[in-house]
Amino acid sequence: MKEEGGRQVLILADDPGFEMDGGGRSRQCFFPGRTWTGENRFEVASVATRQFPGPNAQARPDR
């Protein structure tokens, strides 16, 4: 990860196969082509876990 323009950017070696837009919507670029709205959660084995809340997410005191 790196900071770019005041935002955190996740740098990947390979195409993850999905896209996120700024409105909290995500879609798979390949089969089966699902779409969803809300937060996305990523886990990078042996490195870190980072959660990206959607635009309507409520603040949670445990985070």
**pLDDT score at 57:** 62
- For 38, the domain range is 2-52
Between CA 42 and CA 52 the distance in angstroms is 8
**pLDDT score at 21:** 87
Does 4 have pLDDT greater than 70? yes
**Which has the closest alpha carbon to 28: 16, 37, 42, 12?**
16
The DSSP secondary structure of 8-62, one letter per residue, reads EE---SS--SEEE-TTSEEEESSTT--EEES-EEEEETTTEEEEE--TTPPP-TT
Percent of the chain having pLDDT more than 70? 71
Q: pLDDT tens-digit profile of 35-51?
A: 999 888 777 676 666 67
Number of domains in the chain: 1
Between CA 30 and CA 41 the distance in angstroms is 19
**pLDDT score at 48:** 61
Q: Tell me if 59 is assigned to some domain.
A: no
Q: Tell me if 30 is assigned to some domain.
A: yes
